[in-house]
Amino acid sequence: MPYVDSEIYYESVGKGAPLILLNGIMMSTSSWAYHVDKLKRNFNVITFDFKDQGRSSKMEKDYDISCRSEDLLELMDHLEIEKANIVGVSYGAHVAEHFVLSHPQRVEKLVLSNAVDKVDNYLRELGRSWEMAAQRNDPELLFRISFPFIYSHTFYNSNGDWIEERIKNASKVTNKNWLDGFTRLSRSGAYFDLSEKIKEIDVSTLLICADEDMVTPKNEMKKMAKKIKNSSLVTLHKTGHAAFYEKADLWCEIVESFIKPSKSFIN
């Protein structure tokens, strides 16, 4: 298995310009399997687990979310990638914001999907409720509390049996080690705030929002897009915070058409 210094697990498939996908807080490299299969036709697609996530090493104390951008830097240095297209979802997008502000010369194009530039009181309290569920060592409780926020009203009503099965299966394989890592990751972003610094982003940026997203609402993303001078914004309809999953084909098409010059960008 490929690791960076025995700590950061990663996977790399396909040929072409490097495209690095950054996980949401509950994700791992395996969460991207469908997307990688589609995107690898035109890119060298790289996925990895942040420390405290998936198959990467676990941390022993709390940290700030900016530390996770160093995981990305370590990976790029290890793979000798000078510049890459960076695509982040939710927590991963917040890491990407830190990274592009600290290392702008390492980013070709940037995609921020279902993200904010500041964790407000509402989102902070939502995170605390998920942390409290995780600290009870009850994964099913965590998933039942979080899933209605992660998936849209439309998706929930159309895929009830699938969601129930997913909750049951995920609960069976989730252990205390995963829950502790999740809690630290959640705490790391509790006071995330780049609402002023975001104006300094100077690379071509695409923001993807969803009209049923309760975690990172589209109106907040519209405000965010106005701060980034070289940016575009796309809204996915009848989908929620897990837009990349609910409408995977469309999401991949949008990302690819933005990054690949020969494609017509869908806006």
pLDDT above 80: residue 267? no
- Tell the CATH superfamily of the 3-118+193-259 domain: Alpha/Beta hydrolase fold, catalytic domain (3.40.50.1820)
Q: Which of 156, 183, 31, 134 is nearest to 11 (CA)?
A: 31
Task: Summarize pLDDT for 123-163 with one digit per residue, the tens.
Answer: 999 999 999 999 999 999 999 999 999 999 999 999 999 99
Q: Could you give the CA distance from residue 117 to residue 97 in angstroms, rounded to a whole number?
A: 8
Give per-residue burial for 20-36: e unless 16+ CB within 10 Å, then b: bbbbbbbbbbebbeebb
pTM summary value: 0.95
Task: Summarize pLDDT for 207-237 with one digit per residue, the tens.
Answer: 999 999 999 999 999 999 999 999 999 999 9
Contact 240, 213 (CB under 8 A): yes
Q: Could you give the CA distance from residue 127 to residue 225 in angstroms, rounded to a whole number?
A: 24
pLDDT for position 22? 98
Burial class (CB in 10 A: 0-12, 13-18, 19+), 42: middle
Task: Summarize pLDDT for 164-209 with one digit per residue, the tens.
Answer: 999 999 999 999 999 999 999 999 999 999 999 999 999 999 999 9
With a CB cutoff of 8 Å and minimum separation 6, the contacts of 65 are 91, 94, 95, 98, 188, 189, 192
> Which residue blocks in 40-159 are alpha helix, DSSP H?
66-78, 91-102, 121-135, 139-150, 153-158
pLDDT category, 260, cuts 50, 70, 90?
A: confident
Q: Could you give the CA distance from residue 125 to residue 129 in angstroms, rounded to a whole number?
A: 6
pLDDT for position 1? 72
CA distance between the termini of the chain = 38
Contact 100, 110 (CB under 8 A): yes
Structure-token match 């791992």, residue found: 28
Q: Which of 43, 3, 47, 2 is nearest to 27 (CA)?
A: 47
CA 82 to chain centre: 22
For the segment 12-33, the average pLDDT, to the nearest whole number, is: 97
The full set of domain ranges for the chain reads: 3-118+193-259
Percent of the chain's residues with pLDDT above 70: 97
pLDDT for position 266? 45
